[in-house]
Structure formats: C-alpha cells, structure tokens
Amino acid sequence: MTTELGPSVPARLRAEIDGDADGFTILLITVGDGGWPHVAMISAGELVVVDDRTLRIATWPGSRTTANLTATGRATLSAVADATAFALRISTHRGDDLAIPGDPTLACFDAVVDSATADRAPYADLETGVRFRLRDPDAVRRRWARTRRALAGRT
C-alpha cells in the first residue's frame, strides 16, 4: 500500500543516507532521449541530505545520468529502508562541479523533494533493495568522506 508523505526526505530514509551503511544503494531514475527511463545506482557516499527537503547529489560528469539531469532537471530517487520502499520525486539544478584534490571531478546537483511516497505490502516485509560489497572499503570510504564533505560544504 502506497502512502503519500509530502515534500520531504522521510526520517527512516534519511537515517540510512546519513549513516555508515555499507552497501546501501539508492536508485536514481532519470528519463533520457526517447522517453525511456534510465536507472543509475548512487551510494550514500555520493549523496547528502542538507535539510528536510534538500539533497545534494554527485554523479560522473560524462554519464547518461548527468546528461539526463542536466537536460530535464527531474528524477526519482528510490530505495528500501526499514522494510519500506521509498520514492522521492526531485527537481534538480546543476551547480559547479566538485573538484576534490586527488579524486575524480564529479558533477554536483542540488535537489529539492517535490513529493515522497512510502510503499509497504500488508503481507510481507521488504528486507533489502539493491546492495553492494566494496572491493577496497577503506579507500572508498575515504573518497566518500571527501565527497560528502564537499557536497555538504556547498552553499
């Protein structure tokens, strides 16, 4: 059953994004040429919650996701947290790229939540969404920490 939550980041989802959840994955769904959906995976290391309604997202500059976000300014973030499937419709604006010394340059988007939903099945509990295992956890966590600090430091 789907519940409309209003234009904010749900607390249960925010806890996952703000936490140190290895493997937590958010699907970033954009629409490209021809009207077909494009799905990209975003880790908590590439996303920060600025306030109840605002997020910042880092993407690879040459990616289809970046091109779609730049062209349309719209996307849906989808993730599973606390036995619930969340979907956030967002409006985005591309800011200056993140140039972090020693790391690849990333595209940076400010995102505002236009609406959010929570979906639970009355007959089952969702256990997980898309998850991953890091090959070099220490190096990736250091890079993510730098990226999150850079995203959070934007005004």
- Provide the residue ranges of all domains of the chain, joining segments of one domain with +: 2-152
CB atoms within 10 A of CB 67: 17
- 3 state SS of 154: coil
pTM: 0.86
* pLDDT one digit per residue (tens) for the chain, 155 residues: 888 899 999 998 898 888 766 778 899 999 988 889 999 999 888 999 999 999 999 999 999 999 999 999 999 999 988 888 999 999 999 999 999 888 889 999 999 999 999 998 888 878 777 777 888 888 888 888 888 888 888 65
> b/e map of 20-39 (b: 16 or more CB within 10 Å)?
eeeebbbbbbbbeeeeeebe
Q: Which CATH fold would you assign to the domain 2-152? A: Pnp Oxidase; Chain A (2.30.110)
Radius of gyration of the chain (CA): 15
Provide the Cα torsion 107, 129, 77, 114; round to 10°. -150
The two most distant CA atoms of the chain are separated, in Å, by 49
